[in-house]
Amino acid sequence: MTLDRERYRALIDARVFHPAELHDRLLARRRRTIAGADGRLLILAADHTARGMLAASGDPLAVADRYTLLDRLTRALAVPGVDGVLASADILEELAWLGALDDRLAIGTMNRGGIIGATWEIDDRMTAYDVNHVESRGLDGGKTLLRIDHHDPGTASTLESVAAATTALADRGLMAMIEPLPYIKDAGGRAVLDTSDEALVKVVAIASGLGSSSARTWLKIPGSDRMDLVASATTMPILMLGGDPGADAGRTFDRWRAAMEQPNVRGLVAGRTLLYPHDDDVEAAVSRAAAIVHDTSGGSA
């Protein structure tokens, strides 16, 4: 159901006249266990705006419109098989105020300081949630981005801060979701993803060893045609990320389906692929992903 415009206006008014309601409703939401019944998760990713990533489906500002984003998120969260959402505090509080997070996981994004396109982009500093507020706001875990570029000094401080956050989250019994990504510089000096499987295996191995406990660590990594090779680098549960495939979403879904055959590949953390699909049918895209994750399609999703 589309988000009512009057309800959206009331949310804006609440920020002015009743700001405490935003975090109060986040605290008051009904909680659930991390793994659920089948140990598989479909998490909607909505933390892109916090580091200036606003493009989707060919529109450079698609994700910037907050009404549209919240409308798509609330509709997607209502689809059976969706387990939760990963977002910055603004979005999690807004979804909680709208009543969309009951019985759903809420994962707080932490280091959003690597603004897309900035000269310091790989220096992913903690600018969103910290561990204390992940706990005190009643969230289920925290997510960190770990982009490893062997030639960028910003990588070292990010490694240190992600390791510290992983330990602190584990100490509090909270999920520590790490997104390790291999990065290189292109000819123009811009940070870009290294898409080789060998590089992905290496960063998965590094992320698996971070912190003083790995007991609460889940990894969020790109899907690969060689997921057997990538997943074998760790015993930690893996959630595949989505990205923005544009018109080639079919290949993304096929890759997800094949990768779910690996025992420690446990689901998806997908944002623009599901919230801004090429055909603009949010519910259909989310339902298709849920069928893959929770194996409700009989192999025909």
Give 188-193 contacts, CB < 8 A, sequence gap 24+.
Answer: 190/117, 191/121, 191/122, 191/147, 191/149, 191/152, 193/222
Q: Are 166 and 193 within 8 A, CB to CB?
A: no
What CATH number matches the domain at 5-294, 3.20.20.70, 2.40.50.100, 3.40.50.740, 3.40.50.2300?
3.20.20.70
- Going from N- to C-terminal start, the domains of the chain cover 5-294
Confidence (pTM): 0.95
The pLDDT of residue 299 is 43
Region 210-239 average pLDDT: 97
pLDDT digits (tens, 9 = 90+) for 245-275: 666 778 889 999 999 999 999 999 999 999 9
pLDDT digits (tens, 9 = 90+) for 41-50: 999 999 999 9
What's the CA angle centered on 262, arms 178 and 285, to 5 degrees? 75
